Amino acid sequence: MYIIFAAISLAVLGLALGFLLGAASRYFKVEENPLIDEIEKMMPGSQCGQCAYPGCRPAAEALVAGEAPPTLCPPGGKALAERLANKLSIELDLSTMGDQVPMVARIDESLCIGCARCIKLCPTDALVGAPKMIHAVVADACIACAKCVEVCPTECLKMHPVKVNLRLWRWPKPEETALAGA
């Protein structure tokens, strides 16, 4: 007898709650996911396209839809990946990011003809110079989007790995193989 009562009351409770949930999803439905705006704000906003999406907004949409991993943005690096994963509450696998070597654009000054095409394209104004003058890269502002490489008519612009110096050198994580027994 008690078992029947329990089963009935639980079933009723489940139905009621399910109905409430269904109603809530209908009445509080949001047309555009506000999360996309928040995610877009977190992105660098340089529309560089390194993520293979046409810009930061499409990338944010893909992220929210779960089509892209939080590690998609190379300029944002691990730090952004971590914040995105936190925001979206998803597991973060940084292992794919570890291998990426930071890059920077450099100009071969003997080849530059001063066409200024790259300057127009650079999303962060990292290329300085004027028409008919040899251009230069402000390394700190360069986000390695490589847009300039594509338009350079003389192929004087190339991406190079950032050279590690004492200022950039960091201690690596202790070898985990050493802790295999752990």
Provide the minimum distance between the beta carbon of 174 and other proteins in the complex, in angstroms, as a whole number: 5
Determine whether 49 is exposed, middle or buried from the number of CB atoms within 10 Å of its CB (0-12, 13-18, 19+): middle
The one among 45, 49, 58, 129 contacting other proteins by CB under 8 A: 45
Decide: is 99 part of the binding site for other proteins (CB under 8 A).
no
Is 139 in contact with 160 (CB distance < 8 Å)? no
Specify the DSSP element, H or E, that contains 83: helix 77-88
Q: Beta 136-137 vs 127-128: how paired, if at all?
A: antiparallel
Q: Is the Cβ of residue 125 or residue 155 nearer to other proteins in the bound state?
A: 125
Tokens of 3: 């078992």
Near other proteins in 126-165, by CB under 8 A: 126, 140-141, 143, 164-165
Provide the minimum distance between the beta carbon of 73 and other proteins in the complex, in angstroms, as a whole number: 9
Q: Is the Cβ of residue 64 or residue 126 nearer to other proteins in the bound state?
A: 126
Q: To the nearest 5 percent, what fractions of the chain are helix, strand and coil?
A: 40, 10, 50
The one among 78, 109, 154, 161 contacting other proteins by CB under 8 A: 78
β-strand partners of 157: 107
Provide the minimum distance between the beta carbon of 132 and other proteins in the complex, in angstroms, as a whole number: 20
d(CA 146, CA 100): 15
> What does the angle CA 82 – CA 69 – CA 78 come to, to the nearest 5 degrees?
30
The one among 31, 79, 98, 110 contacting other proteins by CB under 8 A: 79
**Stretch touching other proteins by CB under 8 A, among 7-15, 17-25, 107-115, 121-129:** 121-129
Q: Which residues bind other proteins (CB under 8 A)?
A: 44-47, 75-80, 82, 94, 122-126, 140-141, 143, 164-166, 169-176, 178-182
